[in-house]
């Protein structure tokens, strides 16, 4: 099996033991790791060995180097002394090995091996830390708290200092540490504290983080009937929500922000309209774009694929949504700002299946407990417990989970089987609504597109779920009339979809709003002609030479022109009339010839 796959299956305490082993140099004795974590580390090291991530080497346990890609700075420390020592030349190595009481003869490889062995023994490192000058220890402890890097410009070099009398050798507290292999120059300005030394500086009482106890979860035995019923209800609801979202986007596209997504204000407005959370809107937008049902450019609008999707049965519509969710390369539910498609989280597609496999045949009513348990069991499969919780919430919203357990649709996703077949019969699209005396319209199940479009035109969604409730109001009905509906046309259309006819309060509402609608009319006017001579105004209005002004008689003494003041005045003068210009307050405007100058 791939080592990365093996890694993703390790639990938290095993990874914590491996991290401690890496901090000690990566080649360790079992007792040293146990002492660092404060517990018997052998069962976890054996578990890692069974996965091919730990091997025996010269009587010690050697951790696979692939772990260094996961723990770049295990326990916050840098590379081991053995790794850092490779930057030293032979002369410097001889000085360091001499100071450590090691043989100074041999090839560079021999000297490096001797140094690496010395620092792999924790007793050697602790003894060395005890010997260091107080000033040196203070510098190194501060360096450990700051991440292990020490800024120290230049320096004369290890071998160079050793050629001078002892009273000239150490002019800086760091010199003693460098001469004994505790720190190594990695750039002209920076020194790196060896990892084993950083651990020893923290004292004998220091313990690495270790959490062997798995988080508690109140597991339940799922009831297949309840799971299927709950998941189907969620599936029906999400199909209806996505239809409502994209229908509204088709009438009024969602504006995009500069970063290439939908801003928080637009998300909040949409969530309020749909009666859901902002997190749910992010999820709906994500699967819509992933499935090709919506396009995101300067705005979010439905595609032709959405129109084809609307012709499918509910089971196949839901299958399209779930396939898109499985392939998402990010977690929309964990975003906190604008919704932006973020394709840099490829791990999340694997995490979706990992969260279902981890749940298995159990039910977890408390998603928070389940999320912490899943992360503890496979930390590298999830970014953190929050990500696991987000995945569980997404799965619940889409009907991949039902009553806290994997639904038949979720099992089909895991097995790569026909999702629509697993979903089962979700019923037909609703074609009628129950119109009630309290001015609500109740649609059980998922409304068909024509039904939803009609009710959206004259009412506002009040709640969604297994049934969707719209509420009629004067403002909503007025909006329908503004869009071109008439009282007769709207009444006729509602009677066609009404299950049981129109209640009298709704009939009165439609009539009352219609009586008031249009009592005040707004028409565009660019300028007006005013005269007490009503005969003259009638003549001007009938003059065919002035047709381009689109003159209209508003009152016996007022004519409206759709041309601006200057063009209207010029046209009147050309036709032989003698108009006089006035300002907005009715005062005469004195026209003066413009005098041009260079």
- pLDDT tens digits for range 444-498: 877 877 888 888 888 988 877 678 889 999 998 988 888 888 989 999 999 998 9
| Spatial CA neighbour of 518 closest among 564, 568, 481, 565 | 481
pLDDT at 167 over 80: no
Chain centroid to Cα 188, Å, comes to 42
Distances (CA, A) of 191 to 8, 55, 269, 343: 34, 32, 54, 38
Report which of residues 218 and 6 the model is more confident about: 218
Can you say whether the dihedral through the CA atoms of 251, 254, 255, 256 is positive or negative? negative
Mean pLDDT of 312-341: 92
Q: Which phi and psi (to 5°) does residue 481 adopt? A: -65, -40
Q: Which two tokens stand for residue 110?
A: 């021999």
**Mean pLDDT computed over 316-330:** 94
CB atoms within 10 A of CB 348: 22
Render the burial of 396-432: b for 16+ CB within 10 Å, e for the rest. bbbbbbbbbbbbbbbebbeeeeebbebbeebeebbeb
Q: Are the beta carbons of 268 and 336 closer than 8 angstroms?
A: no
Note the pLDDT of residue 412: 95
Average pLDDT over residues 562-570: 87
Residue 84: pLDDT band (50, 70, 90) is: very high
Q: In terms of C-beta density within 10 A (0-12 exposed, 13-18 middle, 19 or more buried), how is residue 220 classed?
A: middle
Q: In degrees, to the nearest 5, what angle opens at C-alpha 212 toward C-alphas 207 and 218? A: 140
With a cut of 80, say whether residue 521 has pLDDT above it: no
Angstrom distance (rounded) from CA 478 to CA 487: 10
Do residues 456 and 347 lie in contact, with contact meaning Cβ atoms separated by under 8 Å?
no
pLDDT of residue 47: 93
Segment among 272-281, 311-320, 519-528, 566-575 with least mean pLDDT: 519-528
**Does the structure show a pLDDT above 90 at 7?**
no
Q: What does DSSP assign to residue 339?
A: B
Mean pLDDT across 48-65: 89
382-412 pLDDT per residue, tens? 889 999 999 999 999 999 999 999 999 999 9
- For residues 208 and 34, give the distance between their C-alpha atoms in angstroms, rounded to a whole number: 10
What integer is the mean pLDDT of 191-217? 94
pLDDT at 166: 53
Cα torsion for 145, 148, 153, 155, to the nearest 10°? 120
Cβ-based burial of 504 (10 A; exposed 0-12, middle 13-18, buried ≥19): exposed
Mean pLDDT score, 517-543: 81
pLDDT of the residue at 597 = 35
Residue 212 to residue 207: CA distance in whole angstroms: 14
Task: State the alpha helices, DSSP H only, in 9-149.
Answer: 12-23, 30-37, 42-50, 67-70, 81-84, 90-99, 108-120, 122-131, 134-145
Q: In sequence order, which residues have a C-beta less than 8 Å from that of residue 11 and are 6 or more positions away?
A: 214, 376, 377, 378, 379
Average pLDDT of 514-531?
A: 76
Distances in Å between the Cα of 82 and the Cα atoms of 73, 162, 181, 184, 345 are 15, 22, 9, 11, 35
Residue 471, classified by CB atoms within 10 Å of its CB into exposed (0-12), middle (13-18) or buried (19+), is: middle
Mean pLDDT of the chain: 88
pTM: 0.72
- Residue closest to 280 by CA, chosen among 231, 240, 323, 224: 240
- pLDDT level of residue 436 (50, 70, 90 thresholds): very high
Query: Are 35 and 207 spatial neighbours (Cβ–Cβ below 8 Å)?
Result: no
- Check whether 302 has a pLDDT greater than 90: yes
- Please give the radius of gyration of the chain, using alpha carbons only, rounded to the nearest integer: 39
Residue 445: both structure tokens together: 């199940």
CB within 8 A of 247, min separation 6: which ones?
302, 449, 452, 453, 456
Confidence of residue 153 (pLDDT cuts 50, 70, 90): low
Helix, strand or coil, per DSSP, at residue 20: helix
The percentage of residues in the chain with a pLDDT greater than 70, rounded to a whole number, is 93
The Cα–Cα gap between 332 and 390 comes to 8
Say what the pLDDT of residue 297 is. 85
Per-residue pLDDT at 596 = 36
- Smallest CA-to-CA distance from 458 within 408, 510, 384, 415 is with 510
pLDDT (mean) for 111-139: 92
- Collapsing DSSP states into helix, strand and coil, what is residue 379? helix
Residue 237 has pLDDT above 90, yes or no: no
Nearest-5° Cα angle at 157, 184 to 86: 40
Mean pLDDT of the 85-98 span:
91
* Integer Cα distance of 418 and 236 in angstroms: 18
How many residues are recorded in the chain?
A: 598
What is residue 4's predicted lDDT score, i.e. its pLDDT? 60
Give the model's pLDDT for residue 156: 57
For residue 74, give the nearest of 26, 4, 117 by alpha carbon.
Answer: 26
Q: Rounded to whole angstroms, how far apart are CA atoms 323 and 315?
A: 12
As a whole number, mean pLDDT of residues 104-121 equals 91
Percent of the chain with pLDDT over 90: 52
For the chain, the domains span: 3-76, 81-201, 224-423, 434-516, 523-593
- pLDDT level of residue 522 (50, 70, 90 thresholds): low
Confidence at residue 101, expressed as pLDDT on a 0 to 100 scale: 92
Fold for the domain defined by 3-76: Arc Repressor Mutant, subunit A (1.10.10)
Question: What is the token pair recorded at 291?
Answer: 């499935």
pLDDT value of residue 273? 85
Burial annotation 62-94 (CB, 10 A radius, 16+ → b, else e): ebbeebeebbebbbebbbbbbbbbeebeeebbb
331-355 per-position pLDDT tens digit: 998 888 899 887 777 788 889 999 9
Q: Which of 149, 254, 220 is nearest to 191 (CA)?
A: 149
């Amino acid at each position: 099996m791939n080592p990365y796959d093996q890694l993703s299956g390790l639990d938290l305490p095993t990874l914590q033991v491996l991290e401690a082993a890496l901090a000690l140099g990566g080649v360790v004795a079992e007792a040293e790791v146990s002492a660092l974590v404060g517990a018997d580390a052998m069962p976890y090291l054996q578990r890692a060995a069974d996965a091919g991530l730990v091997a025996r080497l010269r009587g010690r346990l050697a951790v696979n180097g692939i772990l260094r890609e996961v723990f770049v700075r295990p326990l916050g420390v840098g590379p081991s002394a053995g790794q850092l020592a490779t930057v030293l030349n032979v002369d410097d190595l001889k000085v360091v090995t001499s100071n450590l009481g090691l043989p100074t003869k041999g090839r560079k490889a021999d000297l490096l091996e001797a140094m690496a062995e010395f620092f792999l023994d924790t007793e050697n490192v602790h003894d060395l830390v005890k010997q260091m000058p107080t000033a040196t220890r203070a510098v190194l402890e501060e360096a450990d708290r700051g991440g292990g890097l020490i800024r120290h410009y230049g320096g004369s070099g290890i071998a160079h200092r050793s050629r001078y009398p002892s009273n000239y050798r150490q002019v800086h507290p760091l010199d003693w540490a460098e001469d004994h292999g505790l720190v190594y120059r990695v750039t002209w300005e920076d020194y790196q504290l060896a990892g084993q030394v950083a651990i020893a500086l923290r004292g004998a009482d220091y313990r690495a983080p270790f959490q062997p106890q798995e988080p508690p979860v109140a597991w339940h035995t799922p009831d297949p009937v309840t799971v299927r019923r709950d998941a189907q209800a969620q599936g029906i609801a999400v199909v209806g929500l996505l239809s409502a979202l994209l229908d509204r986007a088709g009438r009024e596209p969602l504006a995009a922000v500069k970063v290439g997504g939908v801003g928080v204000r637009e998300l909040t407005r949409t969530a309020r309209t749909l009666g859901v959370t902002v997190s749910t809107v992010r999820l709906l937008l994500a699967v819509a774009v992933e499935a090709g049902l919506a396009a995101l450019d300067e705005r979010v609008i439905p595609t032709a694929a959405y129109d084809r999707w609307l012709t499918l049965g509910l089971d196949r519509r839901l299958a399209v949504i779930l396939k898109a969710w499985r392939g998402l390369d990010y977690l929309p539910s964990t975003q906190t700002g604008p919704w932006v498609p973020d394709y840099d989280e490829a791990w999340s597609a694997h995490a979706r299946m990992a969260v279902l496999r981890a749940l298995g045949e159990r039910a977890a009513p408390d998603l928070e407990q389940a999320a912490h348990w899943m992360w503890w069991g496979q930390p590298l499969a999830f970014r953190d417990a929050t990500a696991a919780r987000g995945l569980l919430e997404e799965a619940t919203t889409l009907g991949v989970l039902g009553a806290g357990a994997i639904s038949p649709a979720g099992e089909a996703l895991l097995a790569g089987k026909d999702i629509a077949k697993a979903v089962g019969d979700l019923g037909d699209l609703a074609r009628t609504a129950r119109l009630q005396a309290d001015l609500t319209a109740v649609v059980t199940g998922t409304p068909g597109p024509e039904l939803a479009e009609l009710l959206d035109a004259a009412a506002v969604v009040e709640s969604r779920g297994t049934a969707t409730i719209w509420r009629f109001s004067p403002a909503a009905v007025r909006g329908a009339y503004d869009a071109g509906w008439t009282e007769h046309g709207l009444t006729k259309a509602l009677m066609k979809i009404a299950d049981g006819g129109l209640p009298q309060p709704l009939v009165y509402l439609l009539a009352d709003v219609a009586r008031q609608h249009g009592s005040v009319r707004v028409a565009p006017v660019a300028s007006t002609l005013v005269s007490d001579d009503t005969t003259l105004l009638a003549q001007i209005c009938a003059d065919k030479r002035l047709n381009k002004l689109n003159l209209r008689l508003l009152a016996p003494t007022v004519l409206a022109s759709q041309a601006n003041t200057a063009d209207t005045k010029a046209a009147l003068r050309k036709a032989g009339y003698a108009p006089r210009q006035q300002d907005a307050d009715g005062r005469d405007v004195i026209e003066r010839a413009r005098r041009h100058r260079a």
